[in-house]
Amino acid sequence: MNPDVMLFDEPTSALDPEMVGEVLAVMQDLAKKGMTMVVVTHEMGFAKEVADRVIFMADGIIQEEGTPKEIFEHPQNSRTQDFLNKVL
């Protein structure tokens, strides 16, 4: 199997910390090899490091979209700002 895109929905939820690291390492390796991935995650450090684009959603609505630098360093949306202030 050689997919063009891989979808991940909270791939690290309910994993112990050791397994979280292993899963994120595999996904990071896929990204380095050019695999297109759509990832739903609460792992902000991983998203900041690996993503080309970040979409922040709340209540099923896109609140903000941009590069990791734009979203994590200069969020424009108040909901995005509130969330990042709580988790970072």
DSSP 13-76: TT--HHHHHHHHHHHHHHHHTT-EEEEE-S-HHHHHHH-S-EEEEETTEEEEEE-HHHHHHS--
Q: Tens digit of pLDDT for each residue in 27-80?
A: 999 999 999 999 999 889 989 988 999 999 999 999 999 999 999 999 999 999
pTM over 0.85: no
Domain ranges of the chain: 1-44, 53-88
